[in-house]
Amino acid sequence: MLAGGDPATWVGVLVDLLARAARTDDVDAQAALDCLAHAVAEEALPYESRTALYAAARDAGHDAVARLFLDVSPATASELELEAALEAERPLRPRGRALTLGERKTLARSRRREFLVPLLRDPHPDVVAILLDNPYLTEPDALVVAALRPAVPASLAVIAEHPRWSTRHAIKRALVLNPYTPIHLAVRLATTLRRSDLLEIARTPSLPGPLRVHAAELLARR
């Protein structure tokens, strides 16, 4: 969708949607903004198109829109944290036996709560991906996964890009407030949040500076 047409025109559409979505009664604009935020995140969007859209937004003085087209982030987890989180084996419960990744992936497909609930804190992205597709997973369950700290950034990215969960307000908010979420994803999600959420983001010192600046700029435009 974003790959065709004039980049400046698409930037204008995004700026207009941001202004309209700021009005709490404009549900259609909010839905359209969510849709475009997902389109921006699509891997199918060619690099050339992404670059042209970024440049058009910067040229028009819309830095908040330009940030939507960034697709890389500085590290949000240390190598030691990642090494510990991605160990091949880990117990389902503190005193249980260590389970292999394959065993945990199998349990993540279960409908039984006694297996699903402990797996909500499994940091491995492969386990998270299966859990999110499990029809027995509830929104409160997904919220636990999105708010987990410390977390593997790749696991949080799986949630941020999931078609079922990434549009839920509570999930988006939890991901944006999680300092382990890749910054470029947090920026896109924050763009679709409410004014009260943006105020909280801008005032939370534990969050990355670029994300707080983005929230502040969105607030200024509203």
Q: Are residues 185 and 101 in the same domain?
A: yes
Residue 144: inside a domain? yes
- Residue 90 three-state SS: strand
Q: Are residues 139 and 203 in the same domain?
A: yes
Rounded to an integer, what distance in angstroms lies between the CA atom of residue 213 and that of residue 219? 10
Q: Are residues 57 and 166 in the same domain?
A: no
Rounded to an integer, what distance in angstroms lies between the CA atom of residue 129 and that of residue 12? 35
Q: Are residues 92 and 123 in the same domain?
A: yes
- Residue 67 three-state SS: helix
Q: Are residues 98 and 185 in the same domain?
A: yes
Which residues, 6+ apart, have CB-to-CB distance to 51 below 8 Å? 69
Rounded to a whole number of angstroms, the distance between the first and last alpha carbons of the chain is 26
Element (H, E) at 100: strand 98-100
Q: Let me know: does 41 contact 161? Beta carbons within 8 Å.
A: yes
Residue 126: inside a domain? yes
| pLDDT value of residue 222 | 65
- Residue 89 three-state SS: strand
List the Cα angle 38/41/83 in 5-degree steps: 120
Q: What is the pLDDT along the chain (222 residues), one digit of tens a residue?
A: 666 678 899 888 888 887 777 666 567 777 777 777 777 777 777 888 888 988 999 998 888 888 888 887 888 888 989 998 898 899 888 777 999 999 999 999 999 999 999 999 999 999 999 999 999 999 999 999 999 999 999 999 999 999 899 989 999 999 999 999 999 999 999 998 988 999 999 999 999 999 999 999 888 876
| pLDDT value of residue 1 | 61
Residue 74: inside a domain? no
**Domain end marker among 22, 50, 69:** 69
Number of residues that this document lists for the chain: 222
| pLDDT value of residue 3 | 64
Q: Are residues 174 and 89 in the same domain?
A: yes
Q: Are residues 14 and 120 in the same domain?
A: no
Domain count, the chain: 2
| pLDDT value of residue 35 | 76
Name the residue among 48, 41, 56 with its Cα closest to residue 7.
Answer: 56
Residue 201: inside a domain? yes
Q: Are residues 170 and 146 in the same domain?
A: yes
Q: Are residues 95 and 179 in the same domain?
A: yes
**Domain end marker among 51, 69, 87:** 69
Residue 203: inside a domain? yes
Q: Are residues 129 and 165 in the same domain?
A: yes
Q: Let me know: does 105 contact 127? Beta carbons within 8 Å.
A: yes
- Residue 95 three-state SS: coil
Residue 163: inside a domain? yes
Domain containing 120 equals: 79-208
Residue 215: inside a domain? no
Q: Are residues 133 and 200 in the same domain?
A: yes
Residue 218: inside a domain? no
Q: Are residues 165 and 191 in the same domain?
A: yes
pTM here?
Answer: 0.86
